[in-house]
């Protein structure tokens, strides 16, 4: 199988915050890989814009080092890297002053696709938008790209949406949630809506419950200042886990088009029930003797921010009434793994008698690492001597099935940036979706604040606090093991 690479139209992409961490780790190495794969037209240009007093050559040196460090592609030779770097220009601009804007206006070409990536603090979004408008940089089709965190509650998200709406139409705004750019996350839609097999069973009549786990082994070291003001709820649940929940639970959209897909996701978020405080567990890693704990990582000995969360929620609609959704995410856990597990109900009656035990089908969708799907089916244990039952997996590892093609798959950022250039908003969050997600999240966080809730400690390298296991246990269920 050979992957198809469809070149995009000529473009100028301006990266505000072009010297920052995200630009250097993800955006630029990603663009370089797209350039290597032949997707970027030869004449396309990337313009870095930041406060740092650099010239284009200085920025190119910086980007060369980032490509060497963060790009896994090794098939590109020095000549290709040089060719890519020649697409790069740099302008020193002051988001809150006049410096650099005239030069930027001169650099950005007319009558091609323009994208402005705001890889800066959200407090600067308004300033950048105003100045682009003032200096007439771009046109009515220009796209702006913004990153999470998109607000820290409903009020601030509304303010940000209003700030952007002053100069840009919703069709021009691309809010990135990089989980939506992951190959396997999109595969969720293909599995659900490309097959007849699962859909008839995809409801509360047949599904006992759904678990979504995003476990990480990394801590918050290096990002402590940001993270301690956010916590797992704002950093992961409000966005990434929420998007996974939407894709797994939404109704089939009539077409794979931006608004059709986003309308269905929005309905799921709006149908989420408030979470009962008894069905939510917050945790914080450490302390252990030899490993630094969370409070040391963030430099606040009294921090009450959670680095782990497990919760149960329900979706109030015809399809899902009565089926619990369990979400769990945390840092410094036992293994790095993200997966969605659909646990089907037991067969209504066992013809094999009680000694055969109860068996349920389980569909496990592994998002990362080792992307793939496993469907647990019950068979007869081989051999003579009565009917004993056994659960075995029907296993599909994408790496084994798709071979080299999977190694060549663009990472989330590459794909999403190319979608911006193509003008395809399907994998980006709409303003109302983000607001609805905050409307569900806010009361949960306010509840903790009101009660001065203190997260439960958990060991580094564990599966999170005991209480998370107990929460499931009380429901007569158990979490899937966290393992790679």
Residues found near ligand BG6 in the complex (CB under 6 A) = 216, 235
Closer residue to ligand BG6, CB minimum distance, 85 or 247: 247
Closer residue to ligand BG6, CB minimum distance, 235 or 339: 235
Least Å distance, CB 235 to ligand BG6, is 5
Closer residue to ligand BG6, CB minimum distance, 209 or 282: 282
Radius of gyration of the chain (CA): 24
Instruction: Say if residues 188 and 153 touch (Cβ distance below 8 Å).
Output: no
Least Å distance, CB 391 to ligand BG6, is 29
Closer residue to ligand BG6, CB minimum distance, 54 or 245: 245
Least Å distance, CB 288 to ligand BG6, is 21
Least Å distance, CB 325 to ligand BG6, is 19
Least Å distance, CB 102 to ligand BG6, is 35
Residue 181 CA to residue 183 CA, distance in Å, equals 6
**167 has catalytic annotation:** no
Closer residue to ligand BG6, CB minimum distance, 350 or 462: 462
Closer residue to ligand BG6, CB minimum distance, 115 or 176: 176
Least Å distance, CB 39 to ligand BG6, is 22
Selected catalytic residue, list 209, 240, 314, 452: 240
Residue 289 CA to residue 370 CA, distance in Å, equals 32
Closer residue to ligand BG6, CB minimum distance, 33 or 60: 33
**Residue 280: what are its φ and ψ, rounded to 5°?**
-145, 135
Closer residue to ligand BG6, CB minimum distance, 89 or 216: 216
Least Å distance, CB 134 to ligand BG6, is 32
By beta carbon distance, the residue nearest ligand BG6 is 235
Nearest to 267, CA basis, from 250, 289, 292, 281: 250
**Residue 8: what are its φ and ψ, rounded to 5°?**
-95, 170
Least Å distance, CB 216 to ligand BG6, is 5
Catalytic residue set: 240
């Amino acid at each position: 199988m050979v992957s198809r690479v469809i070149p995009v139209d000529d473009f100028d992409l301006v990266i505000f915050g072009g010297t920052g961490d995200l630009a250097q780790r993800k955006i630029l190495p990603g663009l370089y890989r797209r350039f290597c794969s032949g997707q970027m037209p030869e004449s396309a240009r990337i313009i870095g814009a930041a406060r740092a007093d650099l010239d284009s050559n200085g920025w190119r040196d910086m980007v060369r080092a980032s490509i060497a460090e963060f790009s896994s592609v090794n098939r590109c030779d020095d000549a290709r890297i040089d060719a890519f770097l020649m697409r790069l220009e740099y302008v020193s601009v002051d988001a809150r002053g006049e410096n650099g804007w005239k030069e930027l206006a001169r650099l950005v070409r007319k009558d091609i696709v323009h994208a402005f990536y705001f890889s800066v603090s959200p407090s600067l979004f308004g300033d950048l938008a105003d100045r682009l408008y003032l200096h007439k940089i771009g046109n009515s089709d220009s796209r702006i790209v913004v990153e999470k965190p998109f607000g820290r509650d409903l009020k601030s998200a509304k303010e940000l949406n209003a700030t952007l709406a002053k100069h840009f139409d919703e069709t021009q705004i691309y809010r990135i949630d990089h989980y939506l750019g992951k190959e396997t996350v999109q595969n969720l839609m293909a599995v659900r809506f490309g097959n007849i097999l699962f859909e008839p069973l995809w409801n509360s009549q047949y599904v006992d419950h759904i678990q979504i786990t995003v476990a990480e082994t990394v801590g918050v070291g290096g990002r402590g200042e940001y993270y301690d003001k956010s916590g797992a709820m704002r950093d992961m649940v409000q966005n990434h886990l929420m998007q996974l929940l939407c894709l797994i639970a939404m109704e089939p959209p009539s077409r794979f088009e931006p608004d059709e897909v986003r309308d269905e996701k929005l309905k799921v978020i709006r149908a989420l029930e408030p979470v009962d405080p008894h069905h939510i567990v917050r945790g914080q890693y450490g302390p252990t003797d030899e490993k630094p704990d969370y409070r040391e990582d963030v430099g606040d000995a009294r921090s009450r921010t959670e680095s782990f969360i497990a919760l149960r929620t329900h979706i109030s609609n015809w399809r899902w009434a009565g089926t619990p959704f369990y979400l769990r995410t945390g840092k410094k856990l036992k293994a790095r793994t993200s997966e969605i597990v659909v646990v089907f109900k037991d067969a209504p009656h066992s013809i094999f008698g009680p000694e055969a035990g109860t068996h349920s089908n389980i569909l496990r969708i592994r998002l990362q690492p080792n992307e793939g799907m496993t469907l647990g089916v019950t068979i007869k244990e081989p051999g003579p001597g009565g009917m004993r039952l056994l659960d075995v997996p029907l296993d599909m590892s994408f790496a084994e099935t798709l071979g080299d093609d999977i190694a060549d798959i663009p990472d989330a950022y590459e794909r999403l940036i190319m979608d911006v250039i193509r003008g395809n908003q399907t994998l980006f969050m709409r303003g109302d979706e983000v607001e609805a997600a905050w409307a569900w999240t806010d009361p949960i966080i306010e509840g903790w604040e009101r009660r001065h809730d203190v997260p439960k400690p958990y060991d580094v390298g564990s599966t999170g606090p005991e209480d998370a296991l107990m929460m499931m246990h009380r429901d007569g269920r158990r979490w899937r093991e966290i393992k790679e």
